[in-house]
Structure 1
Amino acid sequence: MIVSFIETAGFGYEIMYPGAAQPVPVSGGSWSPPDAPKRATTYILIATDLNTRQQHFLTTTVQVRNPILEALTAIKGVTTPWVQGATKGDGAFTFSKGAMHVRREFGSQEGGALYAGGIRTEYVSGPNDADGDITFLPGEVKVWRNRSSNDLGTLYVGEAVFNGVATGYVKGLRDGDGDITFTQGGVKVWRTRSSGEPGALYAGEATFNDVATGYVKGLNVTDGALTFVWAGAKVVASPGSPYSGVLHAGRFENEPQ
């Protein structure tokens, strides 16, 4: 930046500007600041009559297209189409109708990352209209199929740890996987969600205070089964078979009649 003026004989000239402790003498009809202004800066040219010591002042303010500010205080708000970091490649905020976007950098359409100690919001939804939605209620959250729907959505997690779960049913990830439903005072295992057929429960070990069942069978197809009849039990070749099976025991005792 160059400040130019026409010198008049019999006058001395000085420049006052922010950062200068006192007026700086100038001559030759032009002057440049030691550093280019980083923000709107006012320069004052002082012309002093060397005979009468009368002073005349000329003030000019230089505007900077991209000012650098140490601090900014806005009393009534800031209106801007975008905000970005000071270094090239820094993230940026852009504004559109009814929304604010975090971009990887200014000019990019890629979403950036937002880091915060905490976020308070009424709901969270995906970027597309049909994406799922999470709303927040006193003491709970709800996952919806989409923002405008009242249908419950699906929550996918690699692992979850709960103190308690209240749910209507539990099912596998695939269409043909078994299903567990909860009834008054009990649970039921079904072959599939839409099936009315009982399913199989596999466990390495199970401890019960009581078991009520139609039969007990081995793991293999050819294993025998123990069925329960009126006031007794019966060993058969397989569940539903009319043929009796074999009972092997190291010791067998009858109670006295």
Structure 2
Amino acid sequence: MTMLTYTVLTDPASLEASKAGQSSSFGTVYLMVTNTGSAAAYWLENVVKVPVGNGADHLTPDISLVTATGEFHSLNSGVRTLNVQTQVAAGSFKAADPSSGKIQFAPGDYLVLTLEDVPVAETTGLAVLRVQESASRGPNAKASSSVATVALVKTAAKSLAPSNFRPDQALLEDGDSLVLRWDGPDDLAYTIGLPDGTLASVTAAGEWRPDPKTGPIRDATYTLIATDPATARQHFLTTTVQLREPTFENGIHASRVRGPAGTGRLEFNATGVQVTNEVGAYGEVLAYKVVSNLVKAQRVEGMPSGIGGIEFTAFGIQVSNTSGGQSVVITDRVAADLVNATRVQGPGAFDGSITFPKSGIQVCNGNFDNTPHYGYVFAEAGIYQNQSFSAGTENRWIDLTDGGEVSVKHRRADGTTTYGSLRVSRVDTDAARW
């Protein structure tokens, strides 16, 4: 029979057995050693044997993980710290005074041996601790050995709450698939709360994927709902995924849209859209094709920048080249009621031209030597001109004068020229060719 009384307490009040395949349940065991008798006892040591394993009668599978401490509380001398050794091979803890001597255990004095961070065995049941006592009734008497037993209960582990609800990819690119995962016990019933408020069932342990073509089209928040079938207690976790290119069915409503730092922005006003750059000045809009009923612009330029442009002035349009000077308009056909021009020339630099003096029209051939040469004029009713017309060769030509005279010239091979004249008041012909 022991001289002291032994009692065990645990925190939690009933230790929860660990669940296989999941993180261990931990608890604290307090062994109270009290002198409930009327006479003093002289205590030398206690050796507490702990059943090691994962069976129903075991306390813990690994005694080396337990932190053991001890204190002696005396009504007369106060509190002293005891020396507690973990004997792993023996599966026990030994508590004694640091001096290795005896401690007077007066009636009402007590000792507390604390075993913290105890990983609890997986099987529910009753674990019994065996406490070997070494003590005597006198300070110089030989210590006797006796054994006491104390028991504690391991209850079934409660379902743990799920944790770490997360997507495989928090930012989804085009074509990526959404996969949500979490950590949690398998005996809970799981559902996924979708962004539209509906629920989706979970068919795979610890993960969920939306049906094809039902994934998010913009940033979305999902809710994991874990329900304990036995108690109906629920746990809620949320996670959010983002899309690099979201879709908004009803459009985006904003008075201003800004790009990244250093870029332009769009502002929406009562008349339309205003495009500006990062400093607020008018910006650029680039498009492959623009369809509009009306385009208002002060100037239209070609691409790349600076190859020419059209400016709209109060007098009409002005076409300019890269240096800002007068440019050329090239087209297959121009239809107009009236064209006002001083001179019209063919497309080449040495092509002929037509000038418009007050008296009519003047036709010139190519300006090869910077000196204009008159070309041909064909008309149905006649020719009225006070200039010279070549007859197809530089050796024969006709001069027409304002007085109606026709001067005919012929240059011989020797370089001399003969002249003739013809005076007419009118010539009627279907065609005159020169």
Is 1:135 equivalent to 2:308 in the alignment? no
Asked if 2 retains the 8 angstrom alpha-carbon contact of 1:190 and 1:200, the reply is yes
- Return the offset for 1:79: 2.2
Using a 3 Å threshold, how does the CA distance of structure 1 residues 136 and 177 change in structure 2: closer, same or farther?
Answer: same
CA distance, structure 2, for counterparts of residue 159 and residue 66 of structure 1: 47
TM-score by length of 2: 0.40
Rg larger in 1 or in 2? 2
The answer to which structure, 1 or 2, has the higher relative contact order (CA under 8 A, 6+ apart) is 2
CA distance, structure 1, for counterparts of residue 285 and residue 402 of structure 2: 71
User: Which residue is 2:301 aligned to?
Assistant: 125
**How big is each residue's C-alpha offset from its partner over 1:114-139, in whole Å with a ceiling of 9 and x where there is no partner?**
25245623322233455221122357
CA distance, structure 2, for counterparts of residue 145 and residue 7 of structure 1: 77
Alignment-mate amino acid for residue 330 of structure 2: Y
Q: What's the RMSD between the two structures over aligned residues?
A: 4.1
- Return the offset for 1:69: 4.6
Asked if 2 retains the 8 angstrom alpha-carbon contact of 1:2 and 1:33, the reply is no
Is 1:77 equivalent to 2:257 in the alignment? yes
Using a 3 Å threshold, how does the CA distance of structure 1 residues 66 and 159 change in structure 2: closer, same or farther?
Answer: same
Q: Which sits farther off after the overlay, 128-137 or 181-190?
A: 181-190
What SS does the corresponding residue of 1:63 show, helix, strand or coil?
strand
Q: Which sits farther off after the overlay, 158-167 or 18-27?
A: 18-27
User: Which residue is 1:16 aligned to?
Assistant: 193
Give runs of aligned pairs for residues 185-200 of structure 1, distance below 5 A: 186-191=360-365, 192=367, 195=370, 197-200=372-375
What SS does the corresponding residue of 1:164 show, helix, strand or coil?
coil
Structure 2 residue aligned with 1:41, among 197, 220, 223? 220
Q: How many residues align?
A: 217
CA distance, structure 2, for counterparts of residue 134 and residue 23 of structure 1: 62
Using a 3 Å threshold, how does the CA distance of structure 1 residues 246 and 202 change in structure 2: closer, same or farther?
Answer: closer
Give runs of aligned pairs for residues 56-205 of structure 1, distance below 5 A: 56-70=235-249, 72-75=251-254, 76-79=256-259, 99-102=284-287, 113-118=288-293, 120=295, 121-128=297-304, 130-138=306-314, 140-146=316-322, 149=324, 151-184=325-358, 186-191=360-365, 192=367, 195=370, 197-203=372-378, 205=379
Asked if 2 retains the 8 angstrom alpha-carbon contact of 1:44 and 1:59, the reply is yes
CA distance, structure 1, for counterparts of residue 342 and residue 402 of structure 2: 34
Asked if 2 retains the 8 angstrom alpha-carbon contact of 1:3 and 1:32, the reply is no
State the percentage of identical aligned residues: 23
Asked if 1 retains the 8 angstrom alpha-carbon contact of 2:405 and 2:422, the reply is no
Asked if 1 retains the 8 angstrom alpha-carbon contact of 2:386 and 2:399, the reply is no
**Runs (5+) with no aligned partner, structure 2:** 1-178, 264-276, 424-434
CA distance, structure 2, for counterparts of residue 157 and residue 133 of structure 1: 16
TM-score by length of 1: 0.62
Using a 3 Å threshold, how does the CA distance of structure 1 residues 222 and 155 change in structure 2: closer, same or farther?
Answer: same
Question: More strand by proportion, 1 or 2?
Answer: 2
Alignment-mate amino acid for residue 289 of structure 2: L
Asked if 2 retains the 8 angstrom alpha-carbon contact of 1:224 and 1:245, the reply is no
What SS does the corresponding residue of 1:13 show, helix, strand or coil?
strand
CA distance, structure 2, for counterparts of residue 122 and residue 55 of structure 1: 68
Using a 3 Å threshold, how does the CA distance of structure 1 residues 34 and 53 change in structure 2: closer, same or farther?
Answer: same
Q: Which sits farther off after the overlay, 120-129 or 165-174?
A: 120-129
CA distance, structure 1, for counterparts of residue 402 and residue 231 of structure 2: 131
Using a 3 Å threshold, how does the CA distance of structure 1 residues 225 and 63 change in structure 2: closer, same or farther?
Answer: closer
CA distance, structure 2, for counterparts of residue 138 and residue 69 of structure 1: 45
CA distance, structure 2, for counterparts of residue 206 and residue 140 of structure 1: 37
